[in-house]
Chain A
């Protein structure tokens, strides 16, 4: 789907970013009657941003549906959000988005997205989230197909690199294959994701440690759209230095490893740095969210590397991982293979095992050989920075007024409601809900 070069070609709604937020915006705007152009920075094979790595999304609902059991009220959703953000959220906006989440599953289904029926596969019980059949890439495939069928023009390897907001229209520059195209759009939806894949942004967030931080998702979340909006006078949102960091397999790809390199077996072993010292009590928190505490701990280690040490008993409890662990018949040999100080590691494990039985409740010592280990690096999922928006997803300028013709959706606006912490399935929900609203409003605005 290549685009012929035109100077100052015109369109009602220009959508920058082809992940869940951009796709929902494009589909919603097109359904509202606008002509829509969508530009996606990635090539076709890697289209879809971090939605490609998504699995499920959170919705409020007051009764069971084929894709979700029981109920999950809007108040309950809000309470969960307040808990993980420690109250640091825009409550009015959060309420609006949560309310919109009640209608998003059927809307996505109507637009071709397949939701996984409850009785299929090996789904865990989840009344809070809906699972995407085949995951996030299947979702983006469906939305791209729907967008194409509706007549949305899509171009890949195309990036929004310039944006001037005028009184009657926006002048956008789109770079593709070294050429720049000028597009006049009545309204623009920026849904280009966060900045976590940009090395410079990572340094700003995490300092020296950034060098070793693995980017778990798409390499195309470079924060370019974020900077464009900032330069155009948009009000920043969120806090530099905060991000969702988890423990990932150090041997995995440095970018785009997704779900399979995440290491979740920490509560069954001990985690040490390369001097053989333990970082924290691995069993203090065994909830499903425990792994988000380990990213920052590993980032603080010398060399930003740590090691999860397990015995056969612990290994048996560990969920499958992309790469098998490093194994050795003795602890000294394991230490040698990993490059940890063997004497210190022996001492640490001895101390742990001695204390284990005295613990209440008693903890299983680590001693069934052969030993196994995963080398761990911190992996960033997203950072907590973005752009301020109002209830129509209009970008809010630094003087507090809404931008005339620019909307923001997805990760780029997430910090309005999520400035710390994370809730499972929130990313896709925020993307779909904010994208749909932004698309509808942008189309209506363009028609005025």
Chain B
């Protein structure tokens, strides 16, 4: 991480938090700073990504503004987190697209989608495009299988490659200097449990301050819905690929088949999760937020919403004259989505997973110093 105003503010606030520690029951951030008289720059990125933006500490803070210490930990960590996304982005030129995220995402996804529509309009005769197609290979009469696989596959590989490179850069920066293999192995299970359960969106029991002073589980539940929906769409894609290659029967598949059912349920779950998260984002108290993070979240939710809604549209319209256009739109959006993925909110997932793994290792190698009250 570069030393900036954001990292300096995070270090200042974290030092005050480390001297106080009243919030240690809320999440993994506080045990990670326990007993530390100074938070080194190298740890700021780690701690910023451990923070799940639960905001319990903001409402509980005896030093929140107008107190002269002006402690706003969720905001300070959100700003540092945004910087970590840019600083560890690989290839490095991706860093710039975090600063102008709405513009970059709209430009790339818009251009790819329009290009796909234009290509189909130019290359596919109108009577084919607007015909009702039924039976095996109906989709591929509009967009050939090779084109479809190449667009989705290559953009997907780019996304996975860039996200992996970014996450490795982040991990190298935050990995503990001394990390016995045994500790890493024993940390895997608790880390995985923290990642999958979103334990740190629990506020230590009562839930998070998603919207305001009242505790809620809205964000945690919506996030689980979104992730479950996303995994179901992955299952849909994989099962369709297996079906295609194992039986030689190309899509579309019957409604009561694994690819269609899982895709449908996945799409609906994703939309429900997106709706829940968007509702939280819109109503949330902005005092503990960082504007850049709100922008990144909003852009990602809109994008995910478009991808899942267009996927469901293909299913709904697949036996009508609009199938061709819906399919092209969905394909364009999916391709654009993968292209911008390494410069989107998506990076929070592997970074947070890495930070939770480091925290789990730390708990084994150097358990935090206990600290008490008055």
Q: Which residues of A contact B (CB under 8 A)?
A: 45-46, 52-56, 114, 116-117, 120-126, 129, 131-138, 141, 145, 253, 256, 258-260, 262, 288, 315, 318-322, 324, 381, 424-425
Contact = CB atoms under 8 A, between A and B. Distances in A.
19 contacts: A55-B22, A55-B373, A121-B24, A122-B31, A122-B368, A123-B372, A131-B25, A133-B204, A133-B206, A134-B26, A134-B204, A137-B62, A145-B214, A256-B67, A260-B16, A315-B37, A321-B19, A322-B69, A381-B374
Contacts of B371: 122, 124, 319
Interface string B44-70: 000000000000110111111011110
Contacts of A381: 374
A117 B59 contact: no
A134 B18 contact: no
Contact of A320 (B19, B22, B26, B370): B19
Contact of B373 (A120, A131, A319): A131
Nearest to B37: A320
B161 interface: no
Contacts, number: 137
A126 B206 contact: no
Contact of A260 (B20, B26, B59): B20
Nearest to A325: B37
Q: Is the interface of B mostly helix, strand, loop or mixed?
A: loop
B205 interface: yes
A260 B373 CA distance: 11
Given A121-B25, A121-B30, A253-B68, A320 B60 contact: no
B205 A134 contact: no
Nearest to B30: A121
Contacts of B23: 134-135
Interface of B: 15-16, 18-26, 30-31, 34-38, 56-57, 59-64, 66-69, 204-206, 213-214, 368-374
Contacts of A116: 25, 204
Nearest to A256: B67
B66 A45 contact: yes
A258 B62 contact: yes
B69 A320 contact: no
A39 to B, nearest CB: 21
A129 B57 CA distance: 22
A120 B374 contact: no
Given A120-B24, A131-B373, 14 more contacts: A46-B66, A52-B62, A114-B204, A121-B30, A122-B30, A133-B205, A134-B26, A137-B60, A256-B67, A259-B19, A260-B20, A260-B63, A319-B37, A324-B37
Contacts of B31: 121-122
Contacts of A324: 15, 37-38
B210 to A, nearest CB: 15
B60 A126 contact: no
A122 B60 contact: no
A14 B38 CA distance: 47
Pairs of residues from A and B, 6 with the lowest C-beta to C-beta distance, nearest first: A55-B373, A135-B22, A134-B60, A121-B24, A138-B60, A260-B19
Contacts of A424: 372-374
A322 B15 contact: yes
Nearest to B20: A260
A320 B61 contact: no
The residue in A55, A124, A381 that gathers the most chain B C-beta atoms within 10 A of its C-beta is A55
A223 to B, nearest CB: 22
A230 to B, nearest CB: 28
B35 A320 contact: yes
A263 to B, nearest CB: 10
Contacts of B68: 253, 256
Contacts of B63: 258, 260
B30 A134 contact: no
B71 to A, nearest CB: 9
A381 B31 CA distance: 27
B187 to A, nearest CB: 18
A298 B331 CA distance: 74
A165 to B, nearest CB: 35
B25 A133 contact: yes
